[in-house]
Structure 1
């Protein structure tokens, strides 16, 4: 589908990858771009329409859906990193991460699918991670692995209704979330461009960097071999 004249909504659209996605959609001629954030006052991209949306609050999600009505491309980008240990971490932290990274996109998708259908179909983009496939992020990896699986299930359920689902996998991105990481990083702008290329080409998966491509290739290997290679 063409981004030109589409109506795009990006959760977490006030910073990082989300802000880059908002800017890229506008640059490609989207008719309207909603930048959703808990505090809409933090949305600073010229031309974007700020929307109050807390993905962990079903009531907030319903209000955002009721206040739009014309969305054709939904991007579930909002997320947090906690990375709690499953053995020693606070289970409240694990639950909080799942509420944002897994249940949040599910709440948003359920609220906006009727809108996409009413507008003739469209596409959903879910922001996964290279850590969907490599469990180095502990609870974070688990949330993204769950979202990856959910995206596959949603794709099968929604395809007959004319809605596609694209999953984005990427390693380290040059954003605040990865500021303390000393490793090669891809720019948010590059990620955003690849996402919208995939949407316009009706592709179901984006592997945005060498890290995500390597993580996917490693899935065919025995787990002991995979993690020995990572540790080495």
Structure 2
């Protein structure tokens, strides 16, 4: 792609805002999708009212942003409830609705736009919780796992039109969504910068940071032990939520 024209969902804070800032710094034209367009603060970014679970808003965005050749599916929600022994059975459905079906909505709507603009590229911002069952992340973990598979299916379906798809496996990042996580956290701009470089190289699935790489290694060495260690954490976390 010569001139990058990007749409970033959840572009008003966290990793989404970092992508908007990084892309603008690189000279790209950037539409920043947000449920509250007034919350988009990045200079030069074009705010777009966008709730990815709202078919009308998704369709309107696709009709308005017809020059997009890079779609960054970043918007997500984490409600931090147990999946089976839950006090609110609707949270698992809500996490799947945003993290999986919302991304699917955007992918379906923008596939023709990307195709018309030479194929373009999709970046799906995923999580370590999408490669290993993460009990303390309730419905978020299976939703991200589903979206990892969506990434591969999208790649296969859109290959004839030249659309590339990169799935980013992200560890702990300094955002509101990761308030429940202790220890080392990455700068969102580092994730955005690394993710864009991975996409430019044509990576299919890419671990963006130390936690993601470490998780992949632990999973390879002893998957049962690693999954069990994550499972124990479900009894030690407090309830905090976030949506980007």
Higher relative contact order (CA 8 A, sep 6+): 2
Structure 2, unmatched stretches of 5+, are 234-244
Determine helix, strand or coil for the equivalent of 2:77.
coil
Match of 1:80 among 77, 82, 101: 77
Distance 2:157 2:219 in 1: 25
**1:186 aligned partner:** 186
**2:101 aligned partner:** 103
**2:32 aligned partner:** 35
Shift of 1:182: 2.1
Distance 1:13 1:141 in 2: 22
Distance 2:33 2:112 in 1: 18
Query: What RMSD over aligned residues (CA atoms) do the two structures have, in Å?
Result: 1.7
Distance 2:124 2:195 in 1: 10
TM-score by length of 1: 0.93
Runs of 4+ deviating beyond 6 Å: none
Distance 1:49 1:164 in 2: 24
Segment of structure 1 superposing worse, 128-137 or 108-117: 128-137
Determine helix, strand or coil for the equivalent of 2:31.
strand
**2:6 aligned partner:** 8
Match of 1:45 among 42, 50, 64: 42
Segment of structure 1 superposing worse, 42-51 or 216-225: 216-225
Determine helix, strand or coil for the equivalent of 1:158.
helix
Segment of structure 1 superposing worse, 215-224 or 38-47: 215-224
Match of 1:130 among 128, 131, 144: 128
Shift of 1:147: 0.5
1:58 aligns with 2:58: no
Count of residue pairs the alignment pairs up: 229
Distance 1:57 1:229 in 2: 37
Shift of 1:95: 0.6
**1:214 aligned partner:** 214
For the Cα contact (< 8 Å) 2:92–2:138, is it kept in 1? Answer: no
Deviation digits for residues 95-138 of structure 1, max 9, x if unmatched?
11111000000000100110001111110000110111222222
Shift of 1:214: 2.3
Shift of 1:192: 0.6
Distance 1:133 1:26 in 2: 31
